[in-house]
């Protein structure tokens, strides 16, 4: 059985967007293994991508993929065989490792990897629970430029520390033609995601989220019911003209919701913080390193769960 296509495409996007790098603050200039793995119950295949870091004394980018590595992959202590994929397929990228096994909420995933000439690396994560969604609704915010407000109501679990993510897409449908777009919602009505504070608020600097995946922790809503509010441009549907089925246009929306392990959340947050550190990029503030939970290496092993709302009509 092939993995859930939407989930695997998102994970591939994350994996393929990750470069091998060397952390400047680390005194050790030896090559290190870079490991990325994001297991999810929404797939029956776990991807593992290995590459080598680039020491400061070297230049260029090493090729991704390290064939012949010795990888120990365990789910709740049980060893599972790891296979190598040489050429890209519809469900797997080229030069990666994979495990044909399903994972479930609460599973502990452990990886140890050894490659010639590089110190072995190891990491673990635990698969988080599903997103605690109650319902999704829509509202219209009137004004000179009306906005559609997407409202996501959920109840956080008071007994645990949880991390979440959301992406929003719009599909414009005209007759047999359709186009899909990932949206960048306005966050003026959403304090969990609006990080304009300090100098960012003073100069009205936007805080951008990697791959338009908006992430947050439950620190401010611990154990409470909460409604997340995301604003997008309102585009009203146009009716079909008499006898011309292709003349009308309608607009549908899809909400993808994620729960993230602590490791994956902190890795993505570090990517966001570095990308939004404009002062640091101009030499006016320190630049922090990417978060990693890979012992003796770089990258991240982090679990997630995914919920897809399907295409919804606002019905305003």
Cα separation, 132 vs 281, whole angstroms = 37
Q: Looking at residues 158-183, what average pLDDT do you find? A: 94
Listed range (19-28, 94-103, 124-133, 192-201) with the worst mean pLDDT: 19-28
Higher pLDDT, 54 or 10: 54
DSSP letter for 87, please. S
Helix, coil or strand: residue 81: coil
Contact 49, 15 (CB under 8 A): yes
Q: How far apart are CA 22 and CA 181, in angstroms?
A: 34
Model confidence over 190-224: pLDDT tens digits?
999 986 554 444 444 677 898 999 999 999 999 99
Q: What is the mean pLDDT of residues 22-51?
A: 81
Residue 2: predicted pLDDT: 39
Write the CB contacts of 40 (distance below 8 Å, at least 6 apart in sequence). Answer: 7, 11, 103, 127, 303, 304, 305, 306
**Of 14, 11, 23, whose CA–CA distance to 296 is shortest?**
23
pLDDT at res. 247: 63
Per-residue pLDDT, 316: 72
Per this entry, what is the length of the chain?
Answer: 316
- Average pLDDT (112-118) is 91
Rounded average pLDDT over 242-265: 86
* pLDDT recorded at residue 29: 56
- Residues whose CB falls within 8 Å of the CB of residue 108, separated by 6 or more in sequence, listed in order: 75, 76, 77, 124, 125, 126
Residue 26 has pLDDT above 70, yes or no: no
Mean pLDDT of the chain: 85
Mean local confidence (pLDDT), 22-50: 80
- Output 91 or 39, whichever has higher pLDDT: 39
**Does the model's pTM come out above 0.75?**
yes
Would the pLDDT of 82 be above 70? yes
Rounded average pLDDT over 215-242? 91
How much is the average pLDDT of 25-54? Answer: 85
pLDDT value at position 54?
74
pLDDT digits (tens, 9 = 90+) for 264-312: 999 999 999 888 865 545 444 455 678 999 999 999 999 999 999 999 9
Buried b (16+ CB within 10 A) or exposed e, 273-288: bbebeeeeeeeeeeee
For 187, how many CA atoms within 13 A lie in the half-sphere containing its CB?
Answer: 20
């Amino acid at each position: 059985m092939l993995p859930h296509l939407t989930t695997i495409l998102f994970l591939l996007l994350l994996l393929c967007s990750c470069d091998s790098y060397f952390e400047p603050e680390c005194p050790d200039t030896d090559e290190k293994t870079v490991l990325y793995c994001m297991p999810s119950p929404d797939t029956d295949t776990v991807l593992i991508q290995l590459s080598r870091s680039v020491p400061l004394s070297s230049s260029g980018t090493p090729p991704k993929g390290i064939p012949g590595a010795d990888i120990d992959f365990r789910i709740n202590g049980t060893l599972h065989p790891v296979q190598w994929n040489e050429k890209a397929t519809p469900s797997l990228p080229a030069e990666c490792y994979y495990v044909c096994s399903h994972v479930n909420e609460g599973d502990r995933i452990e990886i140890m990897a050894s490659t010639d000439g590089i110190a072995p690396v190891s990491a673990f994560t635990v698969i988080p629970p599903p997103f605690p969604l109650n319902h999704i609704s829509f509202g219209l915010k009137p004004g000179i430029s009306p906005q559609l407000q997407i409202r996501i109501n959920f109840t956080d679990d008071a007994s645990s520390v949880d991390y979440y993510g959301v992406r929003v897409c719009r599909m414009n449908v005209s007759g047999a033609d359709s186009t899909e777009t990932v949206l960048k919602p306005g966050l003026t009505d959403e304090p969990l995601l609006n990080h304009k504070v300090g100098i960012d608020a003073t100069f009205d600097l936007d805080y951008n989220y990697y791959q338009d995946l908006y992430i947050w922790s439950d620190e401010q809503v611990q154990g409470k019911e909460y409604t997340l509010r995301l604003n997008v441009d309102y585009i009203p549907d146009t009716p079909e003209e008499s006898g011309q089925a292709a003349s009308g246009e309608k607009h549908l929306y899809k909400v993808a919701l994620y729960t993230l392990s602590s490791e994956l959340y902190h890795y993505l947050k570090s990517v966001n913080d570095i990308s939004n550190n404009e002062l640091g990029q101009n030499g006016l503030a320190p630049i922090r390193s990417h978060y990693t939970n890979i012992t003796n290496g770089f990258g991240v092993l982090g679990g997630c769960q995914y919920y897809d709302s399907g295409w919804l009509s606002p019905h305003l």
